[in-house]
Amino acid sequence: MEIESGSELSPNAQRAAELIRDQIAVRWPAGHVEIALIELQRRRQQRRYAAAGATLSVGAVALALALGFGQSVRELVPARLLATVAPRMARPVAPALVAEPRPAPPQRAAEPASAAPGHAAASEAAAPVRGHLLQERLVPRRQVAAARWVTLADERRFGEAYGLLRQVPMKNLSEPDDLLLAADVARQAGRPERAVPFLERVVAEHPREMCAQLAGFSLGKIYLDNLDQPALAARRFADVRAMAPAGGLAQDALAREVEAWARAGETARARDGALEYAHVYPHGQRLAAVRDLGGI
Amino acid sequence: MSQPAQKPHLRLVPPGAEPPRDDDAPPADPKAAVEEAFRRYAPLVASLGLRITALRDDIDDFVQEVFLRATKGIGGLRHQGATKAWLVSITINVARQRLRVRKLRRLVGLDVPIEYEELVDPAISPEDRVMLTRMYRALDGMPVNQRLAWSLRHIEGERLETVALLCHCSLATAKRRIVAAQKIISEAVG
């Protein structure tokens, strides 16, 4: 049986498959992931206890609680075990499955590394909310695009990711990582000129962060290598050095600045740059090339 | 002028940051590995599960089940870089089980009908909604293994070799299942 001929989709079937693929997606905001993780841990514990034959003990504890010996039981029974049988008594204000209003993402950096305190912090974050955990996560097409382009980019399917990225309003991208990823997607999809607005925003909106140096350097490369605007590129490379004169990109930025000035026909500036490079980085890897470009 | 770069940018890492993860190494702490995998891949698992099973109301439970199974096996995972493919494999197994249970429930009259139209954006056209409903009803009517093979091939766009791998069958069997499913779908949606 020949698969390629036998399984070709009719237009209707093709359309239906595309609908399913493009329309059905689940978005998990960061806060929900944390809460779902708590639920996962809780289930894991439950299974472990069950496997260890703790079911009978749990029943006994539940009976004791039902008979009003709650305080004594709390003193005698480990908190984790109590949580499996009587979660409301053990954790009275922290339902595991919740959604509306959505909780703010927990401050992960402040969480201790151990599991138990992490539980507590995330439970507190979950405390004020009620409802169903992943309620109404089915989202409109534009939001699906917003969620899916990142996944496609992670899978290195840059062409498809760029197609979806174009449907995402620019204002929806604000985090520097998202902007840098969007720029990467545009470049990898063969549209480096489309990466420029994303990178310009990183430089403009996050000038004090390290990513601004990376964005500035990428801008310089795009202006120099793809858009044939060496003077603009040289200024971008100079900006990178100004952001962090001792930063990891400073040496490369200076070398590329010399190259850009040379290509722009600004021989005096190229020479100044080359002299500075030779002075600051006397053993720099690009010294020979920089000398050549700067005419020194 | 518009030459695509050969590889993505390197990202700047602040001094003192953790070294890059070695994807060829097994996970050092299985519990932490599951949590990291959850943060990273839960949306993928949920979306894949929802597209294949359409069991919208059970999707939380579905995701939890996938990662509970992952908890048991992640210690034996030899390469962290294989986590995603491994989770997809678990997802397909859980989907197969859920779909079989649902078929059984339908057989004994315990199944709750699914409103397939609610799975998508309300703004899409009525024709598309009808087509989507027909498609899922056709998928519901076929054997689970055929449904999985067809969904992986034509919805998820997997290669035939991957479909065979995920369905635990030979390439020829995977092809047969897809063709059989295709016949049912053609009759249903035209």
pLDDT tens for each residue of A192-219? 888 999 999 888 888 877 788 888 988 9
Residue (of A2, A13, A12, A21) closest to B179 by Cα position: A2
Q: Buried b / exposed e across A207-241, counting CB within 10 Å, b at 16+? A: eebbbbbbbbbbbbbbbbebbebbbbbbbbbbbbb
The span from the CA of B128 to the CA of A19, in Å, is: 8
In chain A the beta strands, taken as DSSP E runs, fall at none
Residue (of A172, A171, A150) closest to A160 by Cα position: A150
Contact status of B15 with chain A (Cβ, < 8 Å): no
pLDDT at B46 over 80: yes
Mean pLDDT of B26-39: 74
pLDDT grade for A6, boundaries at 50, 70 and 90 = very low
Q: How far is A245 from chain B (nearest CA, A)?
A: 15
With a threshold of 0.85, tell me whether the complex ipTM lies above it: no
pLDDT of amino acid A114: 37
Identify all chain A residues contacting B153, using CB atoms and an 8 Å cutoff.
Answer: 7
B74 Cβ contact list (under 8 Å, min separation 6) = B27, B30, B33, B34, B37, B83
The span from the CA of A90 to the CA of A87, in Å, is: 5
Q: Do A26 and B156 touch (CB under 8 A)?
A: no
pLDDT grade for A90, boundaries at 50, 70 and 90 = very low
Q: Which of A17, A28, A192 sits opposite B2 (nearest CB)?
A: A192
Mean pLDDT of A13-27: 82
pLDDT of amino acid A164: 81
Q: Which residue has the higher pLDDT, B108 or A122?
A: B108
Across all residues in chain A, what is the average pLDDT? Answer: 72
pLDDT of amino acid B79: 64
Identify all chain A residues contacting B39, using CB atoms and an 8 Å cutoff.
Answer: 33, 37
pLDDT of amino acid A24: 81
Rounded percentage of chain B residues whose pLDDT exceeds 90: 24
Q: Which of A9, A24, A40 sits opposite B120 (nearest CB)?
A: A24
Identify all chain B residues contacting A188, using CB atoms and an 8 Å cutoff.
Answer: 4-5, 8
**Taking the model in full, what pTM does it have?**
0.46
pLDDT grade for B27, boundaries at 50, 70 and 90 = low
Q: Do B43 and A151 touch (CB under 8 A)?
A: yes
Contact B33, B71 (CB under 8 A): no
Q: Report the run of H or E that residue A242 belongs to, with start and end.
A: helix A230-243
- Count of C-beta atoms within a 10 Å radius of residue A291: 15
Q: Which residue has the higher pLDDT, A260 or B83?
A: A260
pLDDT at A37 over 80: no
To the nearest 5 percent, what fractions of chain B are helix, strand and coil?
A: 70, 0, 30
Sign of the torsion angle spanned by Cα atoms A287, A289, A290, A291 = positive
Contact status of B123 with chain A (Cβ, < 8 Å): yes
Most confident of A51-65, A128-142, B12-26: A51-65
Cα three-residue angle A164-A166-A170, rounded to 5 degrees: 120
A101: preceding bond cis by omega (within 30 degrees): yes
pLDDT grade for A103, boundaries at 50, 70 and 90 = very low
Question: At A117, which amino acid appears?
Answer: P
The span from the CA of A3 to the CA of B164, in Å, is: 13
Rounded percentage of chain A residues whose pLDDT exceeds 90: 15
Q: Which of B131, B155, B175 sits opposite A1 (nearest CB)?
A: B175
Identify all chain A residues contacting B156, using CB atoms and an 8 Å cutoff.
Answer: 21
Q: Which residue has the higher pLDDT, A153 or A272?
A: A272
The span from the CA of A237 to the CA of A255, in Å, is: 9
The secondary structure of B68-93, three-state, reads: HHHHHHHHHCCCHHHHHHHHHHHHHH
pLDDT at A225 over 50: yes
Contact status of B11 with chain A (Cβ, < 8 Å): yes
Identify all chain A residues contacting B119, using CB atoms and an 8 Å cutoff.
Answer: 23-24, 138
Q: Buried b / exposed e across A82-112, counting CB within 10 Å, b at 16+? A: bbbbbeeebbeebbbbbbeeebeebeeeeee
The span from the CA of B77 to the CA of B59, in Å, is: 25
Q: Which residue has the higher pLDDT, A185 or A101?
A: A185
Identify all chain A residues contacting B60, using CB atoms and an 8 Å cutoff.
Answer: 36, 97, 132-134
A251-256 LR contacts (CB < 8 Å, sep 24+)? A251/A277, A251/A280, A251/A281, A251/A284, A251/A286, A252/A217, A252/A286, A253/A216, A253/A217, A253/A220, A254/A280, A254/A281, A254/A290, A255/A284, A255/A286, A255/A289, A255/A290, A256/A217, A256/A220, A256/A221, A256/A224
End-to-end CA distance of chain A: give it in Å, rounded: 72
Mean pLDDT of A55-71: 68
Of the listed ranges A30-44, A76-90, A138-152, A259-273, the one predicted with least confidence: A76-90
Q: Which of A17, A227, A249 sits opposite B154 (nearest CB)?
A: A17
pLDDT grade for B97, boundaries at 50, 70 and 90 = very high
Restricting to B residues 65-104, those with a Cβ less than 8 Å away from any Cβ of A are: 67-68, 71
Contact B79, B124 (CB under 8 A): no
Q: Which of A140, A158, A249 sits opposite B121 (nearest CB)?
A: A140
Q: Which residue has the higher pLDDT, A12 or B6?
A: A12
Q: Which of A3, A43, A214 to mutate to test the interface with B (most CBs of B within 10 A)?
A: A3
The span from the CA of A239 to the CA of A215, in Å, is: 11
pLDDT of amino acid A116: 36
pLDDT of amino acid B98: 92
User: Model confidence over B122-172: pLDDT tens digits?
Assistant: 778 888 888 888 899 999 999 999 999 999 999 988 888 888 888 888 888
User: Model confidence over A266-293: pLDDT tens digits?
Assistant: 999 999 999 999 999 898 888 899 999 9
The span from the CA of B90 to the CA of B76, in Å, is: 14
User: Model confidence over B48-83: pLDDT tens digits?
Assistant: 999 999 887 788 888 888 988 888 777 666 666 677
pLDDT at A100 over 60: no
pLDDT of amino acid A112: 37
Identify all chain B residues contacting A190, using CB atoms and an 8 Å cutoff.
Answer: 2-4
pLDDT of amino acid B108: 83
Phi/psi at A130 (nearest 5 deg)? -135, 165
Q: Which residue has the higher pLDDT, B119 or B166?
A: B166
